[in-house]
Amino acid sequence: MDQLDAIAADILGITLRPAQRRALAALTQHGDTLAVLPTGSGKTAIYQVGGLALGGLTVVVSPLIALQRDQLRAMTSNGKVRAVMLNSAQHHADRASALGELGGGRVDFLMLGPEQLANAETMAAIAGSPRPITLVAVDEAHLVSEWGHDFRPEYLRLADVVESAGRPPVLALTATAAPPVQADITRQLRMRDAQVIVADFDRPNISLAVRRARHDLPEDQAIDDRTVEVVLAHDGPALVYALSHARCESLAKRLRLDAYKAEPYHAGLPAARRSEIQDAFFSGELDVVVATSAFGMGIDKPDVRTVVHAGVPGSLDEYYQEIGRAGRDGGPAAAVLVYDPRTVRIPRLLAARSKMGDAAVHSVVDAIEAATGRITVRELADASGVGRAAAGRVVDELLELGLVRPDGNDAVLAAPMGDAFRQVTAAGNRRQAILRSRIEAARGYAETTHCRRAELLGYFGEQYDPPCKSCDNDDHAATPAPAGKHGTGQRVVHRLWGPGTILSRDDHELVVAFDSVGYRHLTAASLTNGLLIIQ
């Protein structure tokens, strides 16, 4: 640890925190490590210090280009660390320069966008680097998991990249991963006997509350009215999360009428405009940003005092990560969810859109079986008569199930498909069940009369003894029963849903994550009436 502390102080100019030290000890002494640390806890310092300690080349897969730029700028500012990035937004000259530095062995850290994992030139350059790869770091690792809130198929290629690099240690980093997600991350990355470091998820300086919208008003007006009331009643700067582009625009306009300097932020705006809004918020020129979930990953503004959600998000994973952007300076902050049961259908519709149609699966599977040798996703789309995006999703599912093998950039090797249709549709149905369960868990948080902090932390498998004294329900919180042999983390089997893991429990109910159907709330009596069997 002395060497790690020295690297942190002398090269990066930081002092390691306890959770960072635990993760670094696991990485350097053991190998594969998954670090689940709350937003703002300094996850990037772990791969930076760890990579420098291990020597060689560290490959970092990071999902957002803006995040890559910020991390690269921070690493190289003192001239002691050599880092380059490769992503789809680079100019040709910048890419050529980065590849030249990599080929010359003059790089300590290579920052990759996930799309580069399917780029033959990038993979060839990494393979030909004179410096051995001594660490692969996966930032925002929940994106690896099918339980994750923003599934990225490109991440499925990570395990193959690690194998082709000679199997260096893998460091997975995320701010949000309930126990089932942790297990899925280690499985998808093929991590070997991974050490899992989980820091305390509680952020006691953030108060938690839910405010119901009026049911006698039209849905949009009810949500907007209550959201504006909440912003007016709390300190700024504030982040407001909305479920659609239209809601972002509407709420920002309403807040400007109340003399707030407010702007919308969503994927429908030009990239240059989004950057302007982000910079203005960081510099204090804006009081409020009204955003979709497109805003936030890598955001590090320490003085955000309030985070408001105008409607129930798609999961508590997403909610926890977004409210974690409040109060990073340690000062008091508030997280308020504006709830209208009518808005729950929006994340449900988004989840339904992710379902692969049976006809598309059939057509792509048949096209692969009819092909000879190598076939690209574009060729599969043409042969099957489905869109390229749909064909790509079916191929990604087949790759994950091990039913086809990758062959270079965006292609697979044709193979007999057998019962591939059944396996793909079963996996898709399981994912849909999990997505629906996560939406229901978020709704359960909005409607609970128990301590909200205990409810939220219980979702992540962390037992909390209520009342917290800083949520709107703390006077009604139930007192949990002693964990005993049926405590959190205990494996159980349900008569219908099969195996699962108890995430939290009190005298009244259990939260269990089932492997087949996701999150479920059950009565505590389920442990004594034979519905659940302890493994």
33 and 118 together in one domain: yes
- Given 284, 314, 347, which residue is the final one in a domain? 347
Mean pLDDT value of segment 156-165: 79
- Given 371, 399, 418, which residue is the final one in a domain? 418
**How far is 468 from 473, CA to CA, in rounded Å?**
9
73 and 112 together in one domain: yes
176 Ramachandran zone, left/alpha/beta (phi>0; psi -120 to 50): beta
- Given 153, 173, 198, which residue is the final one in a domain? 198
**How far is 502 from 255, CA to CA, in rounded Å?**
42
Please, are residues 150 and 116 in contact by the beta-carbon 8 Å criterion? Answer: no
Phi, psi of 191 (to 5 degrees): -70, 145
183 and 271 together in one domain: no
**How far is 526 from 509, CA to CA, in rounded Å?**
9
Give the pLDDT of residue 296. Answer: 61
Q: What is the pTM of this model?
A: 0.71
Question: Domain for residue 526, yes or no?
Answer: yes
Give the pLDDT of residue 460. Answer: 79
336 and 359 together in one domain: no
Question: Domain for residue 242, yes or no?
Answer: yes
365 and 338 together in one domain: no
Buried b (16+ CB within 10 A) or exposed e, 147-179: bbbebbbbbbbbbebbeebeebbbbbbbbbbbb
What share of the chain in percent tops pLDDT 90?
16
Give the pLDDT of residue 348. Answer: 59
Question: Domain for residue 423, yes or no?
Answer: no
172 and 104 together in one domain: yes
Q: What is the CATH number of the domain that holds 169?
A: 3.40.50.300
Residue that is written with structure tokens 């407001």 in the block: 240
Please say if the pLDDT value at position 347 is more than 80. no
Give the residue numbers spanning the domain of 436. Answer: 428-534
For the stretch 18-31, pLDDT in tens is: 888 889 999 988 99
Please, are residues 454 and 477 in contact by the beta-carbon 8 Å criterion? Answer: yes
Q: Does residue 77 or residue 458 have the better pLDDT?
A: 458
Mean pLDDT value of segment 451-480: 78
Q: For the chain, what is the domain count?
A: 4
Give the pLDDT of residue 481. Answer: 39
Q: What is the CATH number of the domain that holds 376?
A: 1.10.10.10
Question: Domain for residue 435, yes or no?
Answer: yes
Average pLDDT, the chain: 81
CA atoms within 13 A on the CB side of 177: 28
Question: Domain for residue 110, yes or no?
Answer: yes
188 and 223 together in one domain: no
14 and 151 together in one domain: yes
**How far is 521 from 495, CA to CA, in rounded Å?**
15
Please say if the pLDDT value at position 149 is more than 50. no
73-82, 147-156, 386-395: least confident range: 147-156
Give the pLDDT of residue 170. Answer: 93
20 and 56 together in one domain: yes
185 and 234 together in one domain: no
DSSP state of 324: T
Question: Domain for residue 442, yes or no?
Answer: yes
Q: Does residue 136 or residue 179 have the better pLDDT?
A: 136
Question: Domain for residue 452, yes or no?
Answer: yes
148 and 27 together in one domain: yes
DSSP state of 329: T
210 and 175 together in one domain: no
Give the pLDDT of residue 308. Answer: 96
